[in-house]
Amino acid sequence: MNPFPVTSNCYNPLLPSGSEAATIDCNTGLLALGWLPSTSDVSNLLGYVSTAPAPHNLPGITRLDFGMTILANVIDFRNTTALLTMTFARLTSIGRSAADLAGITLINNTGLATLTAPVLSYADYLLITGNAIALISLPALSTTGCNAACVFTIQDDTLNQFSAPALLAVAGSLTLSSNPLLSSISLTQLATVGGDFLLQHLPLVASLSLAHLVSVGGDFLMSDIATLAAINLVALQSVTGSLTLADLTAPFTTLNLPALTSCGSLVVHGPLLATFTAANLVSVTGNLDLNSVAGGNIYTALSFPALTTCGAFFCTFNTHLITLSFIGAPVISWNISGNDCTALTTVLFGGGATFANGISIDFTNCALTQATVDAILAAAVRGGGFVTGTINLNLGTNSAPSGAGLADVGTLTGRGVTVTVNP
């Protein structure tokens, strides 16, 4: 049974019906009113004031102070107009039940400018969007979420600083999106994100350090961060979904992924990327897409010395690219699209490398040397298993094959492979 009258936000039988407090303190404040709530009563109070329809959604409350240290149920406030300040001075944990998730939801509280939770170390989820908060600081938060369904989402037009310097693990998704004034993000200890990790539409973020991030269990998306100059991902080893960096305009010029070994797909569109390295990348189960976009990438060399598995490789219209290397793969089992890289002279495969049957190799309109053209044709012939597929080495300033290369063209076409070269 809900003990609270519909017109009141706190209960005391001695207060007249319809009375309303200007401040609620869920510990000492309610004690002063002569009522000591149990943990379940506090949960009921929170559930009641958070779910009551307008006009009973705290119309006169400007400040909420919560004195509890541990909560098992939901804190959920939406569409308030008078609420200015929310404080969780002693709250250390909210949730930890996989069967009944609990967390903090603050949505469209248009006056809410201050959120304080100095000792909160755990929450099943945090959903903060559409408020008036400029600074979110969670200095003690170390873990969020008990399963992949848990979300951690921050989206506020007024937010300019977000800090969670002790955060180590997010079991579900982590989203910082559409924060037009956000210029500072501190996630310096973050090591794992179990679901998607989305950083997008953050036009004022100039730098970001994720030096301890090791794994992302879903997609890792960084998009539309116009002023980003650098990102530190030196520890990142795996992304189960897609690792996508797109619409990162100048001055973003360098991306180094020295520890990355696997990802579902890898998409990098600079467009003014001068340096990209992934020396230990072994497996990309989907596409590895480095196609140039407006403005053109400006790196001159790409090397994937450890790559042995790839769904398909795309690197087209990169007019500064000179050298492309796949020296670690004994079998090239993926399609390679490198057309319209007009400065590309050299493509390297490992000694003894062969081509899997049915693949397509396209270096149309490039500048391949004769040695490179011959090496591609020799790899296609080697082993005898490449009997259907396509090789395009024509147009542009690609060299014609040597005599040995022409013999390989004859062998391949005799098998049923389509081969196009310059005369």
pLDDT digits (tens, 9 = 90+) for 160-177: 999 999 999 999 999 999
pLDDT of 212-238, one tens digit each? 999 999 999 998 888 887 788 999 999
Residue 57, in any domain of the structure: yes
Taking the mean position of all CA atoms in its chain, how far away is CA 324? 27
The segment with the largest mean pLDDT, out of 145-159, 202-216, 291-305, 390-404, is: 390-404
Take residue 268 and report the two structure tokens written for it: 């990098």
Residue 146, in any domain of the structure: yes
Residue 278, in any domain of the structure: no
Residue 178, in any domain of the structure: no
Give the number of domains in the chain.
2
More reliable by pLDDT, 419 or 144: 419
Q: What pTM does this model have?
A: 0.85
Q: 10 Å Cβ neighbour count for 222?
A: 25
Residue 228, in any domain of the structure: no
What distances in angstroms separate CA 66 from CA 29, 75, 85, 97, 145, one per listed residue?
9, 10, 11, 21, 21
300-319 mean pLDDT = 94
Q: pLDDT at position 20, please?
A: 34
Q: pLDDT at position 286, please?
A: 96
Helix 370-381 with 403-415: angle, nearest 10 deg: 30
Percentage, residues of the chain above pLDDT 90: 57
Categorize the per-residue pLDDT at 59 as very low, low, confident or very high, splitting at 50, 70 and 90.
low
Q: pLDDT at position 331, please?
A: 96
Phi, psi of 185 (to 5 degrees): -125, 125
Q: pLDDT at position 264, please?
A: 97
Question: For residue 12, what are the contacts with CB-CB under 8 A and spacing of at least 6?
Answer: 33, 34, 35
Residue 168, in any domain of the structure: no
Spatial CA neighbour of 378 closest among 419, 337, 322, 335: 419
Residue 136, in any domain of the structure: yes
pLDDT of 369-387, one tens digit each? 999 999 999 999 999 999 9
Distance CA(210)–CA(206), nearest Å, equals: 14
Distance CA(422)–CA(400), nearest Å, equals: 5
Residue 76, in any domain of the structure: yes
Asked if residues 147 and 171 have their Cβ atoms less than 8 Å apart, the reply is yes
Distance CA(259)–CA(277), nearest Å, equals: 10
Distance CA(20)–CA(219), nearest Å, equals: 47
Q: Of the residues 156, 178, 199, which one is the last residue of a structural domain? A: 156
234-263 mean pLDDT = 90
Spatial CA neighbour of 290 closest among 311, 318, 263: 318
Q: Of the residues 125, 156, 187, which one is the last residue of a structural domain? A: 156
Q: Which domain holds residue 70?
A: 1-156
Q: Of the residues 124, 156, 188, which one is the last residue of a structural domain? A: 156
